[in-house]
Amino acid sequence: MTMYEKLEAFNALACVLLERLNPVSSGDVSGMRQQWPAAPDEYFAFMQERGHGEIKEDDFALSLLTIQPTLCPAVDYFGDDGFYKDGPYESCAKGEVWLFGWDSTGTAFGFDSGDNWRLLEIDNMRWITRLDLSFRQFIEGVLVCYPQRPISFANGVWRDSGDISYTLSD
């Protein structure tokens, strides 16, 4: 069994939400692993099993999350390094930030390479929020919390930014 084989069990709409993803070739994933050897294995597994593209309900819906085919330096996405400034929520990034995607509002998601590749959310004001999730928990939480996004996971419970709790129904 693969790591992301059962994502459809997390939401009745998962088949539709995930249908626009295109797996990345194993050769390309190997190249990414060489370029970013400390990045989470869960990220590389997702790229190979599910891939990049838009997670959204239909062609007319706004994208919940657009996953890029490879990691992108945050400075390239934002056009400068202003996202490293302290915001009202969290202190600045500890290392270079590598983005894996963004949503339709411009909020970006990535990893802080200087903080053990911790998952980050960077809003359009360029303020950083550290997420209490692994990459896998984030992807699963995107489906569980749909249409909201998860910010934390503990004891089988995802929470979104409005402090709403979500669990899987049996």
Is residue 11 a part of any domain in this protein? yes
Answer whether residue 164 is part of any domain.
Answer: no
146 falls within a domain: no
Residue type present at position 136: R
In a domain, residue 159? The reply is no
- Residue 44's SS3 state is helix
> Which helix (H) or strand (E) is 150 found in, with range?
strand 150-154
Which pLDDT belongs to residue 92? 79
Mean pLDDT of 67-86: 80
Residues forming beta bridges with residue 159, ordered by sequence position = 152, 165
Res 79: pLDDT: 80
Predicted confidence band of residue 84 (pLDDT cuts 50, 70, 90): low
pLDDT at position 85 is 52
pLDDT at 3: 92
8 A C-beta contact, residue 79 and residue 72:
no
For residue range 124-168, list pLDDT tens digits in order.
878 888 999 999 999 999 999 999 999 999 999 999 988 999 998
In a domain, 153, yes or no: no
d(Cα 89, Cα 97) in Å, to the nearest integer?
17
Q: Taking the model in full, what pTM does it have? A: 0.91
In a domain, 147, yes or no: no
Examine the pLDDT at 122 and tell me if it is beyond 80. yes
pLDDT of residue 34: 98
Please say if the pLDDT value at position 88 is more than 50.
Answer: no
Cα dist from 153 to 71, 76, 111, 135, 148, whole Å = 24, 30, 17, 11, 14
Total tally of structural domains belonging to the chain: 1
Domain extent at residue 72: 7-131
Predicted pLDDT at 91: 64
Residue 138 included in any domain: no
CATH, residue 103: 3.40.1580
Residue 144 belongs to some domain of the structure? no
Residue 1 has pLDDT above 50, yes or no: yes
